[in-house]
Amino acid sequence: MANIAYIRVSTIEQNEGRQVEMMKPHSIDKTFTEKASGKNTERPELLAMIDYARQGDTVYIESFSRLARNTVDLLNLIETMNGKGIKVISLKEGMDTSTPAGKLMLTMIGAIATFERENMLERQREGIALAKAEGKYKGRQSKSLPSNFSTIYGQYKNREITKAKMAELCDVSRPVMDRLIKEYEGGTASC
């Protein structure tokens, strides 16, 4: 029986250190870490963790929000793991999903989290609509390629620098860098 940790942060800029520290007292045998949005369950490390885990194993997570952002996905993931005989323990909520009380609490927490997220998104949409109506919202400002991008891109293609270093040199985030590379390779971006 293995103790498995699943650690997720939403963006490349976020640090998983807090979650790593929370796992230390639990004698973790294998850790799956990824930097990806929780908006869907098609995440490589999550799928690898579910595939790796066997009956009798315990999966430790910092909180249920690390597994999924909506109730349906969360309940489906827990059901899949419990169906394989895998126990899931959320450290933040202090819950074991293999118990009846844990299952009840999981359903309630998942519903509340979905409700909160939907309310936040609705407020965001309303705020954007109001700002647009007042002429104050321009949307995200697009990033353009620096004049030396072709040189930086060449270094990246020759494996002299990483994509993270590329993003740093261009003063953009990794997701923006991914978009800029795609535009550059597609011929839609100019230096």
pLDDT digits (tens, 9 = 90+) for 58-97: 999 999 889 988 777 888 898 899 899 999 999 998 899 8
Among 10, 63, 98, 173, which one carries the catalytic annotation?
A: 10
pTM (predicted TM-score): 0.58
Would you kindly state where each structural domain of the chain is located, as residue ranges? 3-110, 149-186
pLDDT digits (tens, 9 = 90+) for 109-150: 778 877 888 898 899 999 888 988 888 877 766 667 788 888
* Rounded Cα–Cα distance for residues 90 and 76 (Å): 16
pLDDT digits (tens, 9 = 90+) for 26-46: 999 999 999 988 888 889 999
CATH placement of domain 3-110: 3.40.50.1390
How buried is 120 (Cβ within 10 angstroms: 0-12 exposed, 13-18 middle, 19+ buried)? Answer: exposed
* 147 assigned to active site: no
